[in-house]
Structure formats: structure tokens, C-alpha cells
Amino acid sequence: MVRVGIITVSDRSSRGERADLAGPEIRAWAGRMGHAVVAESIVPDERERIRDELVAFAKMGVDLILTTGGTGFAPRDVTPEATLDAIDRAAPGFAEVMRQRSLAITPHAMLSRAVAGIRGSTLIVNLPGSPKAVRENLEVIERAIPHAVELLSGGVGDCGSP
């Protein structure tokens, strides 16, 4: 079972001015996949705050941190920068395939600045802020997640074996 942390990045949701709809979408996905949500938070669009939350979740032993929001072009969209501050190694394939598949749905997909990476043994993936886009992007990467988590935990010895 994959232990999942969800971080919603939204100024308005963090102040209670708007309901978080994307975080619950991730929680529902995790349940369908048989994963356990073990940590969840809503933070404002502040680089240091996002980075600190990513680091705290990784220290808790979360296998997968999924962020939602703050990946676009708006001046306060700093989730990718905060993620880059928190990771040890990049995992660009996740963001690449999400953008590629999303382009078949909307040309606005090219405006995503989402990144993915690894901190210790934790995989971190940035998702968009809309519930629909969260669903679409998780469908693209969901099959790779268990193997990635297993690799990060040291549970796979030889990926090339038949």
C-alpha cells in the first residue's frame, strides 16, 4: 500500500474563502487505488511554506506526495519552484507525460510548469489545481506509481527481469 500525502496549494482555500475540491479528488483516487492518505494540508501560495510542508511530509515517511495547484503562469504560482527547492533528484518523466497527454485535451496544457522529483525515498508530483485536470493527470501516471515507490523503498532488485 502506498502512503500518500496531499498538499493543496491555494491562497483562498488556505484562508477558508473557497472549498478545496482538488484535494478531495486526490483522496478519492487514492482510495480507488488502495492507497492510504496519511497526511493532508492546505497551504497558501508561498514558496517557503510549500517547501517546508513537502519536507515535513517526506520526513514523516510518506511514499508519495501529490500537490495540487500553483503550477501555472500567475505570479503567485510557485509550487514548481518550492518543489525544486525540496527535492534531491528530478523525476521529469511524470510531468512530461502529463503535459503530453493533457495537450490532447487542451492547448492550455503547455502552460503547466508542474515538476516531479524525489526527496529521500519520497516521490513528489505536482498536479494542476482543477479537479478535472487532477483526475486526467492521475490516470496517466497511476500505473507507474507503485513501481516507483517500490524502487525508492529498495524493494526492487532488478527491473529488467522478465
pTM for this prediction: 0.95
Question: What one-character DSSP code corresponds to residue 104?
Answer: T
Question: How does pLDDT run across 17-38, given as a tens digit for each residue?
Answer: 999 999 999 999 999 999 999 9
Scanning the structure block, which residue is given the C-alpha cell 527491473? 159
Going by C-alpha positions, the residue among 119, 118, 120, 98 that lies closest to residue 109 is 98
Spell out where 27-104 has E strands.
36-43, 64-68, 89-90
pLDDT value at position 5? Answer: 99
For residue 16, what is its C-alpha cell? 477558508
d(CA 144, CA 158): 16
Distance linking the first and last C-alpha atoms of the chain: 23
CB 79 within 8 A of CB 110: no
Confidence band of 160 (pLDDT split at 50, 70, 90): low
Helix (H, G, I), strand (E, B) or coil at 114: coil
For residue 92, the number of C-alpha atoms closer than 13 Å in the C-beta half-sphere is: 1
pLDDT at 159: 59
pLDDT of 155 reads: 79
Question: What whole-number percentage of the chain has pLDDT above 90?
Answer: 95
Q: What mean pLDDT, rounded, does the chain reach?
A: 96
Task: Give the strands of the sheet with 3-9, arranged side by side.
Answer: 36-43, 3-9, 64-68, 122-127, 116-119, 89-90
Which domains are present in the chain?
3-152 (3.40.980.10)
Average pLDDT in the 98-103 region?
Answer: 98
Q: What is the pLDDT of residues 34-71, one digit of tens each?
A: 999 999 999 999 999 999 999 999 999 999 999 999 99
Can you tell me the distance from the alpha carbon of 15 to that of 19, in angstroms, rounded to the nearest whole number? 10
pLDDT at 115 over 70: yes
